[in-house]
Amino acid sequence: MLDIVLMGLNHKTAPVTLRECLAFSEDETSVALKVFQESPAITEAMLISTCNRVEVLMATRDTTNAADTVKVFFSEFKNLPVSEFEKSLYIHEGDDAVRHVFRVASSLDSMVVGEPQILGQIKTAYQIAISKKTSGVLLNKLLHRTFFVAKRVRSETGIGDHAVSISYAAVELGRKIFGTFEGKKVLLIGAGEMAELAVEHLIRNRAGDILVANRTFKNGVALARRFKGQAIRFEEITGFLEHVDIIISSTGSPDYVVTRDQVKGIIRRRRNRPLFFIDIAVPRDIDPGINRLTNSYVYDIDDLKGIVDENMEDRNREAIKGERIVDEAVISFRHWFESLDVIPTIVELRNKMEDIAKGEIKKTLQTLKHLSDDDHEAIGRMTNAMIKKILHDPTLLLKSNGHHQNKSVYLDATRKLFKLDE
């Protein structure tokens, strides 16, 4: 009987070095699927590979064999002894596998809960499986359900709300001040990964001109070119405060780069247009006293970290709602999966009966040589009618929808009574 099995490793079970070794590009994924397709143990397969996980989702009749096939393939393809990664592997079967897929796609299993990329990555993986024709009835149904569940989790819970990175939190905060960044001028003082990321976020949100001030003018020019902005000299900062709206500061300076007195005179000249300072430097670049001036707002790295932590907690709370949606979906998938079981079981049962009948007829007819062809046919018809009558009630019982909870019990009993699993 076909079962859904998921095998793989993720950021919780394997260190990044191992995940890197086992990562599959899209082309490699195609090759892997080809190999799985040829294996007799694996009926359907798809492979998900992101920076945080490598997972194989399969439909198989023989879990152990299928798992071994995948392990051996990983080991040969990636030139890594099985023992290197075996301990990091997890194998989920049936409901557990289904739940795992739902959770991963809904970003409940992600390193940063609620990050939106994972759904797209699974969609891509599924596309590859479709193009290689390695997905069948089971995986198709499972994946469509998965996309549906992931969308539901995203829209019905706040799992993806609010920023969980420093630079994005700063941008979100800016939106509460300015509404839109259109035409807002940005001044970047110094350089640094987080600061530059914040500038990039702002550019993506259609911010206006970008100015870059650096103690070393040459570096400023290089950075400005990257943002298609303009470099200014460090001494010019005060003058430009009148024209810019968002100041992102990230220098190594031991003293304040912008002081309260500097800004105080500017506010009036700016006709009170709001000024937003984002201070990512340690020690701080922006005098915190500026926050007390009207229409100017200062957030330093600790403030932003505080926001991120709060948002993270929010997401974790929302994730609980997400888990409930996933649980519901797992139950409804199981119902579908079981209804699918009924037909093959009935077919197998009938086949078994027919095989027995055929064998017995053959044996009997060998001793009854005097019968005509018409008589042979009559005996055949009679046995077929008997099989039909005998199987009529059991078939009805298995097909009936009245007792969902017991269905698997009856199916299991039927398969055991008639030894259908051999």
Q: Catalytic positions, please?
A: 51
Q: C-beta of 124: minimal distance to other proteins in Å? A: 32
Q: With respect to other proteins, which residue has the nearer C-beta, 242 or 348?
A: 242
94 SS3 class = coil
The Cα–Cα gap between 126 and 26 comes to 11
Cα 25 vs. chain centroid, distance in angstroms?
A: 17
Nearest distance in Å: CB 161, other proteins:
9
| Minimum distance of other proteins from residue 260's CB (angstroms) | 15
Which position has the token pair 């797992």?
330
Closer residue to other proteins in complex, CB, 310/421: 310
Question: What is the residue-wise DSSP string for 135-195?
Answer: --HHHHHHHHHHHHHHHHHHHHS-TT-S--SHHHHHHHHHHHHHS--BT--EEEEE--HHH
Residues in contact with other proteins by CB under 8 A are 173, 175-180, 268, 270-274, 291, 294-295, 297, 299, 303, 306-307, 310
Q: Between residues 262 and 291, which has the closer beta carbon with respect to other proteins?
A: 291
Residue 179 CA: distances (Å) to CA of 173, 183, 198? 10, 12, 17
Kindly tell me which of 81 and 179 has the beta carbon lying closer to other proteins.
179
> Which distant-in-sequence residues (6+ apart) come within 8 Å of 126 by Cβ?
46, 135, 139, 143
Distance CA 85, CA 391 (A): 49
Q: In angstroms, give the least distance from the CB of 303 to other proteins.
A: 5
Of 234 and 297, CB closest to other proteins: 297
From the number of C-beta atoms within 10 Å of its C-beta (0-12, 13-18, 19+), residue 320 rates as exposed
C-beta closer to other proteins: residue 105 or 163:
163
Phi, psi (5° rounding) for residue 192? 155, 155
Of the CA atoms within 13 Å of residue 85, those in its CB half-sphere come to: 33
What is the full DSSP assignment across 335-375? HHHHHHHHHHHHHHHHHHHHHHHHHHHHHHHHH-TT--HHH
Q: Among residues 126 and 276, whose Cβ is nearest to other proteins?
A: 276
Residue 94 or 160 with smaller CB distance to other proteins: 160
Amino acid at site 191: A
Contact 286, 258 (CB under 8 A): yes
Structure tokens at 402: 């009245």
Quote the least distance from Cβ 321 to other proteins, whole Å: 14
d(CA 206, CA 226): 16
> 118 with 107: CB under 8 angstroms?
yes
Place of tokens 């009749």: 61
Q: Where are the alpha helices (DSSP H) in 179-275?
A: 193-204, 217-226, 237-240, 260-269
In the complex, least distance from residue 350 CB atom to other proteins, rounded to whole angstroms: 53
The distance of closest approach from Cβ of residue 266 to other proteins in the complex, given in angstroms and rounded to an integer, is 12
Question: How near is the Cβ of 299 to other proteins at its closest, in Å?
Answer: 7
